[in-house]
Amino acid sequence: MTLSPGSTELTLDPAHQPEDIPAPNLAELTLEPVHCRPELLDACADLINEQWPRSRASRLHSLGQSSDAFPLCLMLLSPRPTPDAAPIVVGHARLSRVLDRPQSLLVETVVVARALRGRGFGRRLMEGLEVFAQARGFRRLHLTTHDQLQFYAHLGYQLGEPVQGLVFTSRQLPATLLRAFPRAPSLRPSCKGPSLTPQTAPRAPKGPSLPPPPPLPEPLTTSPPPPAGPPPQSLLETQYQDLRGCPIFWMEKDI
């Protein structure tokens, strides 16, 4: 079960894990930042690339950007199956700050291991994200999905409006972004210096004045004004699209 568009499916690698390992106990799972467990970077990158193929170097670079200052990548981990084995990466999610919404986080790249889907691990991952965000003073989570509306609705998410996640965090970032865009054209006249030569008023034409021009005809048809507000969306239809042009639903939840 892919939990959100852009999320990653994490699967257990049979070449490195015995087939008789039982499913992890939900109560024993932990949620830890990727940058606190660098020895698991390779496993996390492989599992993400299984769902969304990408160059390994690029994936590792993206995961390597995780930090406490956001964006931050979290892994849902199962205890070590044997004393000399590494923990199993059960799930993954990425949290980013939201432009002009200091108490919000954008949830991306949400995924559960393919072999463990449908057993409550997705719910455990999302609940862990809420606890993690609340402990750091955030009050709202945003996310997108193509086809998992019912899953998120059962977790308390509602349809919302699009937001802009930040690639990196800075208090000056909003102003920096605004300055990066071209300014609107000025409505003032061009900045030319005053003329130093005397100006003479135009002379009135001689002879009788011309009659005024006839009024312009009324337009035959008028277009209706565009609807105000964001495009509507429901649990069955949305007018938002992702970068590939596929329908996408924006959802949010107060935590």
Q: List pLDDT tens digits, range 223-250.
A: 455 555 555 666 667 888 888 888 999 9
Residue 178 counted as domain residue: no
Residue 155 counted as domain residue: yes
% pLDDT > 70, the chain: 65
Residue 116 counted as domain residue: yes
Yes or no: say if 76 and 124 are a contact pair by the CB < 8 Å rule.
yes
What backbone phi and psi angles, to 5 degrees, belong to 79?
A: -60, 160
**Closest by CA position to 52, among listed 99, 105, 98, 10:** 10
Position 210: which residue type? L
Query: Low-confidence residues of the chain, pLDDT below 50?
Result: 1-21, 170-173, 175, 177-198, 221-223
Provide the number of structural domains found in the chain: 1
Residue 239 counted as domain residue: no
Yes or no: say if 163 and 99 are a contact pair by the CB < 8 Å rule.
yes
The answer to whether the pTM exceeds 0.75 is: no
Q: What is the pLDDT of residue 52?
A: 84
- Residue 84: which domain range? 30-169
Residue 153 counted as domain residue: yes
CA distance 251 to 255: 13
Q: What is the CATH number for 55? A: 3.40.630.30
**Closest by CA position to 28, among listed 136, 120, 156, 155:** 120
Residue 54 counted as domain residue: yes
Angle at 128 between CA 127 and CA 129, to 5 degrees: 90
Q: Which helix (H) or strand (E) holds 153?
A: helix 149-154
Q: What is the pLDDT of residue 84?
A: 86
Residue 55 counted as domain residue: yes
Residue 189 counted as domain residue: no
Q: What is the pLDDT of residue 165?
A: 95
Q: What is the pLDDT of residue 217?
A: 59
